[in-house]
Structure 1
Amino acid sequence: MMLACIDPQPFARYERWLQLPTLCGLLGLLIAIQGIRDSGLIQRIAGMTVARVHSLRAVGLLMVSMTAVLSIVLTNDVSLFLMVPLTVAIGGMSNLPVLRMAILEALAVNAGSTLSPIGNPQNLLIWQHGQIPFLQFVGHMLPASAVMFVLVALLTWFWLPKDKVELQAERLDGHPISVSLAILSIVSLAMMVLMMERGHAPLGALLLVVPFALFSWRSLKHIDWFLMATFAAIFLGLGHFAALPAVEHALDKIDFNQPLALYLSGIVSSQLISNVPATVLLLDRGPDIMALAVAVNVGGFGVVIGSLANLIALRLAKQPHGMRLFHEVSIPFLLICAPLVYIAMRLLS
């Protein structure tokens, strides 16, 4: 709002910064995941999981690994929409620390999605812009993704308690499953992902609203509309900030032909405006777009807006003091991860 007063822009630019297709995609995902939650399916899966794994650290490593693998195929956001509600359900019937796990899963999707051209929006943008073969992209990003995941796994092991899982057995049977709602929601989730990949997110969201309005009005009522409003505000604010003449003038003074300059620029700009706008800002400035891809993915760690997936994880977890604990972990993680990834990339390039 303040930027709009200081530097008013034509309506068309605000419309572009709002990224309506992305917001529609988010809405569709929220509808499908809320339906899965309301069906009781997640609670049943949670009970089956904790009943078979006896160590909190083992549960943590299992959940983190699943989150990272899913993010390679289903994108970082979709992975979190699946895994964080499952984590919350497990925490509701055991002593699993939900907030710590949500933070670890936010870090894990950043590590996993780094590997894939379709893992996150910034990779998709760079992949399409550079017309890079799929396997070549994966091969280039593998060292960075591997370093990230090893660090996340180590953090999981040492940060989670050594305790055994204390299962509250009386809560396992309290979640009946609505088979019809579960089927509707799973089909809706798959359809929404497909529609997003085909560039038809607004149509996909509309097609989801109708059946849920008819058969599960409660799911629509319980959608996190505040999260939608938060993302809209972030898209508008960050898009406008990235387009300020002062920002572009400052970037003109940086020599992006220097690998370290490009790497640090990608990380720092991600901390300021998030890694997707940072990618847009730097895409045509650096000669090595794969180096830029590594930088903006590393920049997803650190402050919470480094990657919007961080906000999704914290919002889905709905735990007190989540923002503070996230920064206490994620900022040191970035400071350790960034030099290690840079060394790995330079040694293997």
Structure 2
Amino acid sequence: MKRLYTFFTEDLLFSLSFLIAIISCAFGKFSFNSIDFKVIFCLLGLMLFVKNLEKLGILTYFAEKMIDFSSTTRSLIRNIVILSFLSSMVLTNDVAILTLMPIYLTIIKKFPKMENKILGAVLLIVAANLGSSFFPFGNPQNLFLFSYYSLSTLSFFKWSSVLLFSSVLFLLISFLFIKKSPIPTQHNLVPRINRPKALFLSMIGGFILLGVFAIFPYYFVIPIAIILLTIYDRKTVSEIDYKLLWTFIFFFIAVGNFAQVEVLSSFIKDQFTTSSRSFFSSILVSQVISNVPAAILIAPFTEQSQALFWGVNVGGLGTIIASLANLIGFKLYKEYYPDQSTSFLLQFTAVNVVFLLGFILFFAFIL
């Protein structure tokens, strides 16, 4: 019973999605057609790829290199935040945070009197959420929306480019609020990268993208990539977050079942009839249940794909539960500085609200 309790309490979103899926079966008839298997298989392939890439130490290599170029606290925070922004485009927001946050926190422990430590950590999380919105595979909600609406590559990048432009603008402005103090020169050991392994993983990553972008059938490309990655390193198969995959499956089932309830279906459809209402409503829903479940829940009830895309990506800002990546970042910071949890939450909320308001004003002129 203790193991069962731990299993369900260590990942509350997984447990919540499981409960909702069970409840939804009382309102509709379960069907495998409700599950988007392309999203599940593509996500599995990408998770395996990212785990192998992470273990190779590529992010750590670039992080240490960028730190060598940092002469002030502002440049140190700016460099790590930019790396978070760029790496999350390819390696997803949660992986960027899981990899870079410990590096950042280890570095700042060397400078006890350094100011803006919490602000740097918060901006790292914000940058990961924003950067991951540029590619379909950068975060789970984009992978889902890209597949669900059968978006063309051109349409997707037109939308994500708007997010990219505004994100870079807001991040550059935020750097001006970081105090510019000198830091002593550090001599860190830069890990060596195994080039043959890096080349092999790059080829596998490109192969997976052929399935994600529907250049080749995903049910042909992704299984081959998974087999090759398993042969490359069998240990990574047991290190994958399978609860995330099951969370998606449970939400697919729940949405499929609830969609059969005419009253509920009509109510949700009424809230997402225009682009502006879809944008603001999806942001609001994301603040309560996080942006990934929000995308899965809303998509079947609206044709406003562009507004929904912008809404759930911007909706990752705001509350600590607006994105799973936010919770990951908070958990890591708390491990290093347990006595600063309250200060972190206060600064995190303040900074995220400012960013969110900035995006709302920006998109108000576009929608």
Q: Give the TM-score taking structure 2 as reference length.
A: 0.68
Alignment RMSD (CA, Å): 4.2
Q: 1:3 to 1:142 in 2, by over 3 A?
A: closer
Tell whether 2:126 aligns with 1:110.
no
Q: How far apart are 1:282 and its partner, in Å?
A: 2.7
CA separation in 1, counterparts of 2:333 and 2:199? 21
Q: How far apart are 1:29 and its partner, in Å?
A: 1.4
The amino acid that maps onto 2:294 is A
Q: 1:193 to 1:107 in 2, by over 3 A?
A: farther
Of the candidates 255, 267, 270, which is equivalent to residue 283 of structure 2? 267
- Report the counterpart of residue 216 of structure 1 in structure 2: none
Q: 1:327 to 1:231 in 2, by over 3 A?
A: farther
Q: How far apart are 1:299 and its partner, in Å?
A: 1.2
- Report the counterpart of residue 191 of structure 1 in structure 2: 204
Tell whether 2:183 aligns with 1:165.
yes
- Report the counterpart of residue 245 of structure 1 in structure 2: 258
How do residues 1-349 of structure 1 correspond to structure 2 at under 5 angstroms?
1-3=18-20, 5-8=22-25, 10=30, 12=32, 19-34=40-55, 36-37=56-57, 43-72=60-89, 74=90, 76-77=92-93, 81=95, 85-86=99-100, 88-89=102-103, 91-92=105-106, 95=110, 101=120, 103-116=122-135, 119-123=138-142, 125-126=144-145, 129=149, 131=151, 134=154, 137-158=156-177, 162-169=180-187, 172-173=188-189, 177=192, 180=194, 183-185=196-198, 187-192=200-205, 194-198=207-211, 199=218, 200-213=221-234, 220=235, 225=239, 228-243=241-256, 245=258, 249-250=263-264, 252-253=266-267, 254-310=270-326, 319-320=335-336, 327-349=345-367
With 304-313 and 190-199 compared, the bigger mean Cα shift is at: 304-313
Contact 1:238 1:273 survives alignment (8 Å):
no
Q: Where do 5+ consecutive residues of structure 1 fail to align?
A: 214-219
Q: 1:347 to 1:93 in 2, by over 3 A?
A: closer
CA separation in 2, counterparts of 1:340 and 1:108? 15
Q: 1:248 to 1:50 in 2, by over 3 A?
A: farther
Contact 2:30 2:256 survives alignment (8 Å):
no
With 137-146 and 61-70 compared, the bigger mean Cα shift is at: 137-146
Q: Give the TM-score taking structure 1 as reference length.
A: 0.71
The amino acid that maps onto 1:85 is T
The amino acid that maps onto 1:112 is G
Q: How far apart are 1:298 and its partner, in Å?
A: 0.9
Q: Percent identity of the aligned residues?
A: 20
Q: How far apart are 1:58 and its partner, in Å?
A: 0.8
Contact 1:61 1:156 survives alignment (8 Å):
yes
Q: How far apart are 1:233 and its partner, in Å?
A: 5.0
Paired residue total: 327
Q: Where do 5+ consecutive residues of structure 2 fail to align?
A: 1-17, 212-217
- Report the counterpart of residue 217 of structure 1 in structure 2: none
Kindly provide the CA deviation profile for residues 31-69 of structure 1, in whole angstroms up to 9, marking residues without a partner as x.
2311x13xxx65554443322211121122123223334
